[in-house]
Amino acid sequence: MKNLWFRNMLDSIALQGRELIGLDNAERSQQSIGTLCSQLLAGRGEASGIALSQEILRRYSDLNNADKLSFFHILAMYFSPDLEAMQMAFRRYQKSLSAEDLIALNSTVEAPRQELFRRLNMAPEGTANLVSLRADLLTVLTKNPTLKSLDADLKHLFSSWFNRGFLQLHSIDWKSPAYILEKLINYESVHAIDGWDDLRRRLLKDRRCFAFFHPAMPDEPLIFIEVALVQGLSSKISVLIDPHAPVLDPALADTAIFYSINNTQKGLRGISFGNFLIKQVLTELSAEFPALRVLSTLSPLPTFADALHRWLKQTSDHQPNPMFDSILSSHHDALKQASVEPDFSTTLTDKDRLQNLFDDHLQESNVVASNVLADLALAHLTPSDQQKRLTDPVALFHLANGARLERINTFADMSLHGQAISYGVMVNYLYDLRDVEVNHEAFVAEGKVRLSDALDKKLRQFKKSAA
C-alpha cells in the first residue's frame, strides 16, 4: 500500500513537471533522447526532473535494438569523465594533498552518466527500468567492448542500490499473491515448473520457498530458493519435484534440501546477494525446525559434460584435468569388460569405451558408468595444482559460501537437460553452521575445497595413483 501511494505521488509530480517544462509541445517532442539526458543533468527542479526522467525512460523503451545500441554509445561517449578536468584536479591535489582538492578530484573522476542514472532512478518504476536497460546492455557488450565502462557504472550503482541492507526476505506460499506465484513459474530456470498444480506441490507444508525483494521493485522476486523438508540426504531430483510425491509431516523431517536457486533479473548479473539469501534461509529454517540435523543442497553440475566432452575429443582449446587420464586408467578392466569389442582388429581405447557407454543411453543399472562418472566428477570439482582454479559456477557459489562437498550422485537428474549438462550427475553441498565461516575463509583465501571424509579419502587415492 505504501509503495502504491508513493508511485501515485511520483506520477502526480511527473504530470505537473510535464506541464511546467512543456514536454508535450511539438518542439519539445522532437528533441532527441540524448538532448533530454543533457537537460536532465543540467536541471535543478524536482518536478521537471521526474518528468524528464519518466520521458527518457519511456522513449528508451520504445527504441528498437539498433537505436538502443546507438543510445548506449551516446552515453559512453558524451557522458564520460572530462579528461582535461581530471588531469587539472589531479595536479592540484598532487601539490596540496588537501581534503578539499581530493573531493574535487573525486568529483571529476565520476562519469556524469552516474548522476544521470541517479536522476533517472527518481522516475516512477525508475529502478526497474534501469535494471531492464542494463539487461539490454549486457546482450551487446561482448561485441561492443567500448561500452564496458558504461556497464561498470551501472554495476557500481546497483551494488549500492541493491545492498543487502535494502533487501527484504519473504516466505512465499500458496496464499501469496497470484502475480508473485506466476512469476515463480516463469522465472524457474533450474527445474521447470509445469503449471499451477506442479507449483502447488512445491509450496505444500513439507516445502519452503524464500525470496529477496527490493522496496523499489516490490512485485519482483530478485532471487528465490526452493527447499524440501525430507528424511535423509536426497540423491535424486525427480523425487523432490514429483507433483504427486507424498507430503511429509515437517515435524518428522531431519534434513532440508535446497534444490533450486534462481536469479530472476538479467540486469542484476554480477550483483551478489545469493550468499546472503542462503545464510538467512539457513537461520530461518534452523529456528523454525530445531530438529533439522542436515542443511544441504542437491545441485546441478553445469560445466561437467562440456569438460568431459572436450577431454574425450581432445579439443585443442581445452587444458585437460590431469587426473582424468589417471582415473580412466584405474577403470580400464571394468570398461573393457563392459564394452562390446568390434569384430575387426581395431582395438578400442579406454576413452572410446567410455564414450560408447555415454552414447548408449545412460541407465541406472550401468554400474561401470556410474563409478567412472563419480570419480571424474570429483576430479572436476577439485582442481589440480596445474589447473589452479575451479570453473563450475554452482560449486564456486556454494563453496565460497562455506559449504562442503558432501556427496556426488550419479543418475540424479536423468531429464534431457540433466543428461546434457552433466550426464545426470548432481552434487550435495552441505552447510554446517559451525564450519561455514572457516570453510569460506579457506576457500576464498587459499582455494581449498572442504570435502566429506569419504570424498577426501577417495581424492587422496587419486592423487597417490597419479603421482
User: Residue 447 above 70 pLDDT?
Assistant: yes
C-alpha cell at 32: 532527441
pTM given for the model? 0.85
Answer yes or no: do 287 and 171 share one domain: yes
DSSP 451: B
User: Residue 1 above 50 pLDDT?
Assistant: no
Answer yes or no: do 448 and 316 share one domain: yes
Answer yes or no: do 280 and 311 share one domain: no
Which of 251, 277, 297 marks a domain boundary? 297
Whole-angstrom Cα distance, residue 361 to residue 380? Answer: 22
Which of 146, 161, 176 marks a domain boundary? 161
Answer yes or no: do 275 and 323 share one domain: no
Range from 13-17, 203-207, 410-414 carrying the lowest mean pLDDT: 13-17
Domain holding 383, by residue range, is 304-466
Overall number of domains in the chain: 3
Exactly one of 191, 214, 380, 398 is catalytic; name it.
Answer: 398
Cβ atoms within 10 Å, residue 72: 20
Which of 161, 182, 210 marks a domain boundary? 161
- From the list 376, 427, 375, the residue with the least C-alpha distance to 404 is 427
Residue 156 known to be catalytic: no
Most confident of 95-104, 131-140, 268-277: 131-140
User: Residue 2 above 60 pLDDT?
Assistant: no
Per-residue pLDDT reduced to its tens digit, 396-407 = 999 999 999 999
Exactly one of 299, 330, 370, 422 is catalytic; name it.
Answer: 299
Contact indicator for 265, 227 with CB cutoff of 8 Å:
no
Q: What percent of the chain has pLDDT over 90?
A: 63
Answer yes or no: do 313 and 453 share one domain: yes
Whole-angstrom Cα distance, residue 321 to residue 197? Answer: 44
pLDDT for the residue 332: 83
pLDDT, average across residues 14-36: 65
CATH code (residue 74): 1.20.140.90
User: Residue 18 above 90 pLDDT?
Assistant: no
User: Residue 35 above 80 pLDDT?
Assistant: yes
Per-residue pLDDT reduced to its tens digit, 45-56 = 777 888 899 999
Answer yes or no: do 173 and 273 share one domain: yes
Q: How far is CA 430 from the centre of its chain?
A: 19
pLDDT, average across residues 354-360: 75
What is 3-32 written as a DSSP string?
A: HHHHHHHHHHHHHHHHHHHTTTSHHHHTS-
Answer yes or no: do 374 and 260 share one domain: no
Per-residue pLDDT reduced to its tens digit, 318-343 = 566 778 888 888 888 888 887 766 55
Distances (CA, A) of 382 to 298, 451, 460: 18, 9, 11
Whole-angstrom Cα distance, residue 352 to residue 189? Answer: 33
Answer yes or no: do 156 and 195 share one domain: no
* Residue 258 pLDDT level (bands cut at 50, 70, 90): very high
Q: Give the containing element (helix H, strand E) for 404.
A: strand 404-409
Task: Supply the angle between the helices 83-96 and 99-109 in degrees, to the nearest 10.
Answer: 160
What is 226-295 written as a DSSP string?
A: EEEEESS----HHHHH-TTPPPPPGGG--EEEEEEEEE--GGGTT---HHHHHHHHHHHHHHH-TT--EE
Cβ atoms within 10 Å, residue 95: 9
C-alpha cell at 214: 527490493
Answer yes or no: do 285 and 322 share one domain: no
pLDDT, average across residues 30-54: 87
Answer yes or no: do 44 and 191 share one domain: no
pLDDT for the residue 331: 85
pLDDT for the residue 381: 94
Answer yes or no: do 363 and 455 share one domain: yes
C-alpha cell at 338: 563392459
Residue 326 known to be catalytic: no
